[in-house]
Amino acid sequence: MNSLADSLENHYAPHDLEVAVLNALVAAGKDPDRLVPEDLSAIDEFHIRGRKATSDLASRLQLNASTQVLDAGCGLGGASRYLAAVFGCKVTGVDITEPYCRVATMLAMRLGLADRVSYRHCDALAMPFADSSFDVVWTQHATMNISDKFSFYEEILRVLKPGGVLASYDILSGTGGDVYYPVPWARDTATSFLVSPKQMRNVLEDVGFEIEYWQDTTEIGRCWFKRMGDKLRNQGVPPLGIHILLGDDFQVMAQNQVRNLEEDCISLIEAVVRRPAGS
């Protein structure tokens, strides 16, 4: 594992994550042996706007039981399990953080979804899949930790079938100046590689994708994060939540994320782009 991968694993999973998640479920009054998807809502969608962002993006796609989906940067697998449970898709998740893949697999088994979702620990710039393997590639809040955007999207184009689509929801740079750190995806600039929406669009088109849908959702995310911050201040940190993944810095990260959104230091883009059918 290279130094960047080491740094990311230390950032996202600095402890025995499986034990921490199971203990937090019990503390939140959940039975780990009788889980339903709603029990995991506080932890398994590690991106701004949580499940609503996932359902909104999924509504832009034509998904069914025959759809083969790759979730690149799957985290704990919340989005992949949602797609499998709601649409019947077969979903393969990949993540550079090995404990995330292990916990995602454990949660899928406990939810009875192991026949429809699976997880692989790998680098998204060199994925162990044949060309033209997937109908859809899905990615949410992953590219912030990837410096070589061209190679990432080129690899996605490779594993997509001709005519297949990439559905993306990511944090990009804004117009308000430098990002305040630490944030949920990085403690400093060493593992943070933001580009502007224009740069992202240019890279996608240079790789060979056709833009079908492009939406700035920064204001929606700003309102959502402010509500979450107000809730934390009024009710305190719950037993089960994203703080389990991020440790003692979580509250500072959440405060900085609100500031970054309010001051336009970051932006949010939701997009659907297609590999041309003849390529």
For 223-273, how does the pLDDT look when each residue is reduced to its tens digit (9 = 90+)? 887 787 777 777 777 888 888 888 888 889 988 998 999 999 999 999 999
Q: Residue 138: in which H helix or E strand, if any?
A: strand 134-140
pLDDT value of position 14: 64
pLDDT averages per 10-residue partition of the chain, 279 residues: 73 81 93 92 88 95 97 96 96 95 96 96 96 98 96 98 98 97 94 97 98 97 82 77 84 90 96 94
Contact partners, residue 84, CB within 8 Å, separation at least 6? 90, 91, 113, 116, 117
pLDDT value of position 3: 73
Place of tokens 């998904």: 63
pLDDT value of position 7: 82
Does residue 279 fall inside a structural domain? no
Tokens read off for 180: 């305040």
CA separation for the pair 48, 220 (Å, rounded): 10
Does residue 136 fall inside a structural domain? yes
Q: Residue 120: in which H helix or E strand, if any?
A: strand 117-121
> φ and ψ at 166, to 5 degrees?
-105, 125
Instruction: From residue 20, give the alpha-carbon distance in Å to each of 29, 37, 41, 147, 239.
Output: 14, 18, 16, 30, 10
pLDDT value of position 1: 44
Instruction: From residue 73, give the alpha-carbon distance in Å to each of 36, 68, 98, 276.
Output: 23, 16, 11, 24
Does residue 61 fall inside a structural domain? yes
What CATH code is carried by the domain that includes residue 158? 3.40.50.150
Are 132 and 161 in contact by the 8 Å Cβ rule? The answer is: yes
Tokens read off for 55: 């359902």
pLDDT value of position 212: 98
Q: What is the CA radius of gyration of the chain?
A: 18
pLDDT value of position 273: 98
Residue 84 CB neighbours (<10 A):
23
> φ and ψ at 190, to 5 degrees?
-65, -30
Does residue 176 fall inside a structural domain? yes
Q: Domain of 230? A: 3-274
CA separation for the pair 171, 142 (Å, rounded): 8
Does residue 161 fall inside a structural domain? yes
Q: C-alpha 101: how far from its chain's center?
A: 13
Runs of H (alpha helix) within 67-174: 78-87, 98-110, 149-159
pTM for the model: 0.93
The domain tally of the chain equals 1
CA separation for the pair 56, 60 (Å, rounded): 7
CA separation for the pair 161, 277 (Å, rounded): 8
